[in-house]
């Protein structure tokens, strides 16, 4: 989607961090932007900034796990700015605890926000984008943790799922002129280390203890992260180029290469059963057809 001037973007987790960086960049490039966030303090701080510039930005307080609230936010967005063209499913949380210590409540919370929030955004907005017929773009925020597994196991599982969902969605929407990207950032200046502050009371029955000293260290570490506006610039470039992957951080390239080379090293040698190849060739053809449809119907 090369021309973004006047287009409408809806960004979850838009009150701070990467979401706010995207909102600033989109707004500076002529877009109308809704920032949706569960934290009212983040929305208030962001809007104080945007009001100084008279930017076309509208705040909505939103819990992305609430499907009815997501639908209401979509209705409000259309009432304020009109048809949505860009959806950024960016809201995310993290638990920096050992996977073996995680409770079912921990799993339900992280998966509900990081994966469920993306599902709810996709389910709510894609029919609306398809219906207006003007094209659009979806950006789902995963993480480098969607490729490089780490010790934050639930977070890693959720981000691997977001990456898989996004890649499949890209081929599904290609014939409709809607682009899809997965954003895989590394360390960014954000408040994700404060995730436990917004944990719902309903999911607090079983929880691992929060290490205050470790949290303070995480806050310090995140201050050395990439500036959110730099990520936002790279996201906008990815939207304009209809890139499948948006990798803001260059420091992971060799590690990713090593991971995929290691994966290939475990692949067996030999000839495949021809009966299986019939199925696999059909699957490959479906993907090739989707790519061809994308070439015939480029995102607008």
Q: Where exactly are the structural domains of the chain? A: 8-296
Is residue 155 very low, low, confident or very high in pLDDT (cuts 50, 70, 90)?
A: very high
Q: Tokens in use for 84?
A: 């949505």
Q: Quickly count helices (H) and strands (E) in the chain.
A: 10, 7
Separation in Å, CA 58 to CA 9, 47, 138, 268: 10, 8, 19, 54
Burial class (CB within 10 angstroms; exposed 0-12, middle 13-18, buried 19+) of 230: middle
∠ CA 209-216-65, rounded to 5°: 60
Residue 195 reports pLDDT greater than 90:
no
Is residue 206 very low, low, confident or very high in pLDDT (cuts 50, 70, 90)?
A: low
Report, as an integer, the average pLDDT of 96-116: 89
CATH fold of 8-296: Rossmann fold (3.40.50)
- Note the pLDDT of residue 215: 67
Its pTM stands at 0.92
Q: Which residue has the higher pLDDT, 87 or 203?
A: 87
- Note the pLDDT of residue 291: 80
Task: Give yes or no for a contact between 88 and 185, defined as CB atoms under 8 angstroms apart.
Answer: no
Question: Strands across the sheet with 32-37, in order?
Answer: 57-61, 32-37, 8-12, 86-89, 136-141, 178-183, 245-246
Q: Which residues are identified as catalytic?
A: 155
| DSSP category for residue 97 | S
pLDDT in tens, 233-243: 999 999 999 99
């Amino acid at each position: 989607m090369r021309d973004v001037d006047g287009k409408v973007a809806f960004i979850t987790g838009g009150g701070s961090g990467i979401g706010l960086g995207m909102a600033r960049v989109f707004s500076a490039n002529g877009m109308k932007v809704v920032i949706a966030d569960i934290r009212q303090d983040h929305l208030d701080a962001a809007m104080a900034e945007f009001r100084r510039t008279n930017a076309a930005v509208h705040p909505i307080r939103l819990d992305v796990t609430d499907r009815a609230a997501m639908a209401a936010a979509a209705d409000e967005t259309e009432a304020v700015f009109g048809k949505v063209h860009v959806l950024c499913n960016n809201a995310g949380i993290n638990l920096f605890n050992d996977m073996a210590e995680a409770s079912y409540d921990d799993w339900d919370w992280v998966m509900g926000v990081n994966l469920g929030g993306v599902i709810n955004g996709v389910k709510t907005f894609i029919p609306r984008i398809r219906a207006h017929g003007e094209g659009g773009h979806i950006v789902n925020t995963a993480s480098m943790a969607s490729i490089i597994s780490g010790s934050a196991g639930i977070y890693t599982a959720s981000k691997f799922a977001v990456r898989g969902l996004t890649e499949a969605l890209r081929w599904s929407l290609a014939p409709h002129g809607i682009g899809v990207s997965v954003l895989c950032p590394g360390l960014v200046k954000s408040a994700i280390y404060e995730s436990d502050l917004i944990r719902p009371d309903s999911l607090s029955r079983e929880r691992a203890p929060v290490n205050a000293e470790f949290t303070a260290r995480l806050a310090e570490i995140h201050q050395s992260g990439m500036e959110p506006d730099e990520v936002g610039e790279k996201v906008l470039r990815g939207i304009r180029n209809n890139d499948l992957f948006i990798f803001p951080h260059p420091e992971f390239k060799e590690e990713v290469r090593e991971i995929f080379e290691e994966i290939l090293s475990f692949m067996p040698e030999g000839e495949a059963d021809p009966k299986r190849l019939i199925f696999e060739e059909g699957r490959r053809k479906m993907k090739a057809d989707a790519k061809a449809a994308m070439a015939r119907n480029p995102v607008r």
